[in-house]
Each structure stands twice: as structure tokens, then as C-alpha cells.
A and B are shown apart, each in its own frame.
Chain A
């Protein structure tokens, strides 16, 4: 079974703090994704990576950065957290291919920024 794990299920941070969200997958997937999920808006892609040290902006990258130093790990960084970044954050991974490959999701991290 594919396993995608995220470092925390719940996180509470203060405005201005630097926040790290970690995601690890154990299926040797090339692609990894970070989404945020907000009521009424669905999931929106923040960043994705198709290889170590490679990253691509998604639909809403502002206020976020990412790091992929190892194939199995993809980190989402909030350099200076703000209250509008309070959300559910979901990581996913998939194989790389010419066609779409099914994405497998982690359990999510619910982040509250006070």
C-alpha cells in the first residue's frame, strides 16, 4: 500500500512565525504535490515537484515556498505565517509519466495561524 505521511495532524502557530510542513512518501514516486483546502473553494494546488530539487508553482504559490532535497520528502514552508494561511494542507504523490497517474494523498495537516 502506498503510504503518504504528514508530520502533524494539527498545528497552531502565531502570525509571523516560520512554519514547516513535512510530507514523506514510501512508494518511490517522482511527483509530489502540496494543496490547501478551504470551505467553498475545494483543493487548490500550491506547489508541485517532479524530481529532487525541482519545483513548479501551482495556482496559489504566494506566501509559500517548498523544498525537495530527497525523493521521498517534500516540505512546504510558510516564511512568515499569516492568518489567511489558516487552512487544511494536503500532500499527495504520484508516479511521473506521459499521462496522468493517480495521486495518493496524506492525512492532512490542519494549520491555525493566530
Chain B
């Protein structure tokens, strides 16, 4: 069993829909990253959070440390949001990655 589990693995949506991607982890962490990987490979950091909630534009990330769970929400989704979203936890100063959620948003 992976230490970081994401669901769903694949997600398709229509433009404008509200999207939720979930991440559960089984190790002790100091913080959690949400990363975005576009076709072609480059990875960018969306959020790093250790408690509560963070918002940036149409993206919202939440974390519940007690339940070892985090969610990434995308409001009013757009085709340019199509990418792989990766959850990574920071455990003893190392990153442990989930396997990613592939999102496709259709016009």
C-alpha cells in the first residue's frame, strides 16, 4: 500500500464543473504539497499547507491533520486546468508522492 493515496486516478469534467481531488496519507508529515504537471512534464507547486485551508484564484486546498486527509478543489473548471495533479507529503524533510490524478476538462 502506498504511503500517499490519491483519488480518483482519472477524472473527466465539463467546463464549469466543480472538481475535487482527494489525498490520504499514512505517515507523519510536517506539511503537504499540491503540484500540477502539464503535458510535457514540468511540475509547478500550487500549494504547500500544514493546516486549515488555502485559496489561490479558483483553486482551494484543505487539510485535516487528524484525519490525514487533504483535498484540492477547482471551482468553475476550464480546459486549461487539464493536467495531472500530484499530492506530495513532507515527511522527515523528504517528499513522498502520490501517483497523481489525471484531470481532463472538456469545453
CB distance from A51 to the nearest CB of B (A): 15
A102 CA to B48 CA, complexed, in Å: 8
A106 CA to B45 CA, complexed, in Å: 12
- Chain A residues with CB under 8 Å of B48's CB are 102
A61 at the interface (CB under 8 A from B): no
- Chain A residues with CB under 8 Å of B4's CB are 42
Cβ B93 vs Cβ A100 within 8 A: yes
A20 CA to B7 CA, complexed, in Å: 35
Cβ B97 vs Cβ A100 within 8 A: no
Cβ A40 vs Cβ B94 within 8 A: no
A41 CA to B9 CA, complexed, in Å: 12
**What are the interface flags for B15-33 relative to A under an 8 Å C-beta threshold, 1 for contact and 0 otherwise?**
0000000000000001101
* A→B interface (CB under 8 Å): 9, 40-45, 88, 90, 99-100, 102-108, 110
A-B contact pairs, 9 of them (CB 8 A): A9-B40, A40-B99, A42-B99, A43-B88, A104-B45, A105-B44, A107-B40, A108-B41, A110-B41
